[in-house]
Chain A
Amino acid sequence: MRVLTKEIIALVLVLLSVSGCRVKHPDERKVISIKGSDTMVNLVQMWAEEYMKLNPDVSIQVTGGGSGIGIAALINNTTDIAASSRELKEKEKALANENNITYSEINVALDGLAVIVHPTNKISNLTMDELRDIFTGKIKNFSELGGGNLPIVLYGRENSSGTYEFFKEKVLGRNQSGGQNEFAPSTQVLQGTASLAEAVSKDKKAIAYGGIGYFVLRNDVKIIGLKNDRFSLPIFPVKDGRVNYELIRDKSYPISRSLYFYLTDNSKTETAAFMEFIKSPKGQKLVEKMEYIPLITDATENGSVD
């Protein structure tokens, strides 16, 4: 017996240490879990940090992975808030219905997708058609567009990314028979827009897309202007090194989008308080700081979708 007493004591200690998994009491620390968009993850984290400074009894857990992950967590009911840089697809709405999940969609900020190339690339602007043909793989060399003789290397996000989906819908669009156009299979997949920026800064043949906040402060990538057709003026989403709010708000810049929070309807009171903070001027100031476009405070879009 002497032999085992030490082990038994150790076992008891460990068991005690693990018995902490009790059901959370309502008066204990409140937890909000947010999952989803990589585009938004840094913004969400800033919001979380600021909010927790003001409300130390609330704890906010942030996980990225892509809008698809947030939406899947929403449908599986494994998160309080899903951060998404795109809207729900029909398939997803149906699945949510099947699983008896109701949710509300709240617009929290605006964003513009920028297209970037290496700073030494001669191309400075593209039409929307050219952009589409590049990313579907039809145009394979920058020389076809007036640039240098460089075979184009496409970089994109993984298919769980809201940015991926949004770009695919807005830019790649549909072909003549109505089917969706796909990214070329040779598109290199990287996790997170930051790694796309890294990759483009190191590869002269690269072209990529992503939320403008990730690119505007870097001087090792070049942001391209977009034209609706060959004869219009190219529109640049940046002005003087900062994001150009007006062009995105009025949608003159062709690929502007809304960023959403999806809340399950059985959300807690602390979630509602957090949403208040986000919509407040303080919260929207953080949006600006992170290089996204703040909502115009009075005209917030607030749609509840069942």
Chain B
Amino acid sequence: MINYNRVDENSIDESRLLPGKKLNNSSRVKEKLIKAFFTISAFTTLTFFIFIFLFLLKEGMKAFWDIGITDFLYSVNGNLNALSRKVFEWYPTSENARYSLLPLLLGSLMTAIPATIISSFFGIGAGIYLAEIANSKTREFLKPVIELFAAIPTVVLGFIMLAVGATFFNDIFMPANRLNAFVSAFALSLVVIPVIASLTEDAIRSIPLDLRMASYGLGATKYQTVMKVILPAAFSGISASVLLGFGRAIGETMIVLMVSGNAANFSGDFFSSVRTLTATIAAEMGEVSRGSGHYYALFLIGIVLFVITFVLNLSAELIINKMRKKNRQL
């Protein structure tokens, strides 16, 4: 039971507490009201999340009604040699409006996947460095620095790429298009690396010391310990971080809006311009009139993005939970 003598004088100012009261009915009601107040707040937050999804869903579903499901995958161009040919085009403002989402989805993937690959390489490396190689004073200093990296507003990164980066890469690679998927992937990695680095570092540091001691005790070198013991043990945490990083890359808007060239091309060339799902919403959101097919189509894109990032985040969270349970068992 509670030992009154152990009350720490520094931590509680007794004058702040009301003298002990017996809980009479009005106090009980008041307590219940207060609890209800807080409960309602929490449920309001939950409601926002559900509501956003439902609203997007409602408006997005009207797109299917207005336009037709297959039209979001491809349209049929009956004018070519009387053979119907599947065409993947996004021309929402034409007379013969075409709403294929595939070039946009491809564009998002073509910027997000290379960005995630580059970021995994550098991010996991940075995580390993911070967790295993740097001494604790260096780590205390450098970890916040990486987090500051994450704090740079994406519009500034886009601006730097436009002012300096695109021309830099243009001179090296001589691509067909100056603003292309590769340049955006590079800029995106600047955003994703801190995500992966931070989580990797957390994952590696949460591995108990015993495992390391055991490994070194058996005579393993640092290289062997890291590669064969620690990384496999932290595998779930690291994969969660990559998933979250990928979700961040797909959801990023300003960078791709500014440097990807915004051409709804359906090609696999990394050095050509692409148009992502996010940039499409950003570029066309202002010009849709409420109630037009284009308006609903943009909401459909919104749902697609919402679902993709939701799935990625959920998977990452499940993996992290599993990892936590496993670590407790270790």
Partners in one complex: yes
Residue of A nearest to B93 (CB): A159
| Pick from B79, B103, B283, B290: contact of A189, CB under 8 Å | B283
Q: Which residues of A contact B92 (CB under 8 A)?
A: 159
| Bound Cα distance from A175 to B262, whole angstroms | 25
Cβ contact within 8 Å between A159 and B91? yes
Cβ contact within 8 Å between B96 and A179? yes
| Interface check B221, CB cutoff 8 A | no
Known interface pairs A177-B79, A189-B263. Does A202 touch B167 (Cβ–Cβ under 8 Å)? yes
Known interface pairs A95-B292, A99-B291, A185-B103. Does A66 touch B286 (Cβ–Cβ under 8 Å)? yes
Residue of B nearest to A191 (CB): B283
Cβ contact within 8 Å between A165 and B263? no
Number of A-B contacts (CB under 8 A): 89
| Bound Cα distance from A189 to B103, whole angstroms | 14
| Interface check A217, CB cutoff 8 A | no
Q: Which residues of B contact A92 (CB under 8 A)?
A: 289
Which residues A165-199 have CB closer than 8 A to chain B?
165, 175, 177, 179-180, 182, 185-191, 199
Cβ contact within 8 Å between A68 and B265? no
Cβ contact within 8 Å between B79 and A68? no
| Interface check B264, CB cutoff 8 A | yes
| Interface check B266, CB cutoff 8 A | yes
| Interface check A153, CB cutoff 8 A | yes
| Interface check B261, CB cutoff 8 A | yes
Q: Which residues of B contact A160 (CB under 8 A)?
A: 93, 283-284, 286-287
Residue of B nearest to A91 (CB): B292
| Bound Cα distance from A274 to B171, whole angstroms | 49
Cβ contact within 8 Å between B291 and A65? no
Q: Which residues of A contact B265 (CB under 8 A)?
A: 185-186
Known interface pairs A3-B16, A180-B94. Does A188 touch B289 (Cβ–Cβ under 8 Å)? no
Known interface pairs A153-B176, A182-B91. Does A188 touch B287 (Cβ–Cβ under 8 Å)? no
A278 to chain B, nearest CB (A): 24
| Interface check B9, CB cutoff 8 A | no
| Interface check B178, CB cutoff 8 A | yes
| Interface check B34, CB cutoff 8 A | no
| Interface check B252, CB cutoff 8 A | no
Q: Which residues of B contact A68 (CB under 8 A)?
A: 93, 286-287
- Category for how many chain B residues contact A: 20 to 34
Interface string of B75-94 (1 = CB under 8 A from A): 00001000000000101111
Report whether over half of chain A's contact residues are helix, strand or loop; otherwise say mixed: mixed
B132 to chain A, nearest CB (A): 44
A170 to chain B, nearest CB (A): 15
A189 to chain B, nearest CB (A): 4
Interface string of B267-297 (1 = CB under 8 A from A): 1000011010000000110111111100000
A192 to chain B, nearest CB (A): 12
Cβ contact within 8 Å between A202 and B178? yes
| Interface check A229, CB cutoff 8 A | no
| Interface check A147, CB cutoff 8 A | no
Known interface pairs A177-B79, A179-B79, A202-B167. Does A188 touch B179 (Cβ–Cβ under 8 Å)? yes
| Interface check A203, CB cutoff 8 A | yes
| Interface check B14, CB cutoff 8 A | no
Q: Which residues of B contact A76 (CB under 8 A)?
A: 289-290
Cβ contact within 8 Å between A95 and B289? yes
| Interface check A151, CB cutoff 8 A | yes
| Interface check B41, CB cutoff 8 A | no
Report whether over half of chain B's contact residues are helix, strand or loop; otherwise say mixed: loop
Q: Which residues of A contact B292 (CB under 8 A)?
A: 91, 95
Question: Of residues B91, B284, B289, B292, which shows the largest number of chain A Cβ atoms within 10 Å of its Cβ?
Answer: B289
Cβ contact within 8 Å between A98 and B291? yes
Q: Which residues of A contact B275 (CB under 8 A)?
A: 189
A10 to chain B, nearest CB (A): 20
A226 to chain B, nearest CB (A): 24
Q: Which residues of A contact B103 (CB under 8 A)?
A: 185
Interface string of A94-116 (1 = CB under 8 A from B): 01001100000000000000000
| Interface check A72, CB cutoff 8 A | yes
| Bound Cα distance from A6 to B112, whole angstroms | 47
Residue of A nearest to B292 (CB): A95
| Interface check A69, CB cutoff 8 A | yes
| Interface check A75, CB cutoff 8 A | yes
B287 to chain A, nearest CB (A): 3
Q: Which residues of B contact A98 (CB under 8 A)?
A: 291
| Bound Cα distance from A95 to B167, whole angstroms | 43
| Interface check B210, CB cutoff 8 A | no
Question: Of residues A76, A177, A186, A191, which shows the largest number of chain B Cβ atoms within 10 Å of its Cβ?
Answer: A186
Known interface pairs A186-B273, A188-B177. Does A72 touch B261 (Cβ–Cβ under 8 Å)? no
| Bound Cα distance from A66 to B285, whole angstroms | 11
Known interface pairs A153-B177, A177-B79. Does A65 touch B286 (Cβ–Cβ under 8 Å)? yes
Q: Which residues of B contact A151 (CB under 8 A)?
A: 176
| Bound Cα distance from A12 to B275, whole angstroms | 47
| Bound Cα distance from A269 to B233, whole angstroms | 73
| Bound Cα distance from A283 to B179, whole angstroms | 39
A243 to chain B, nearest CB (A): 28
- Of the A-B pairs whose beta carbons lie under 8 Å apart in the complex, a sample of 7, sorted by A's number, is A69-B286, A158-B283, A160-B287, A180-B95, A182-B91, A186-B272, A187-B263
Listed from nearest, the 3 A-B pairs whose CB atoms lie closest are A68-B287, A160-B287, A189-B262
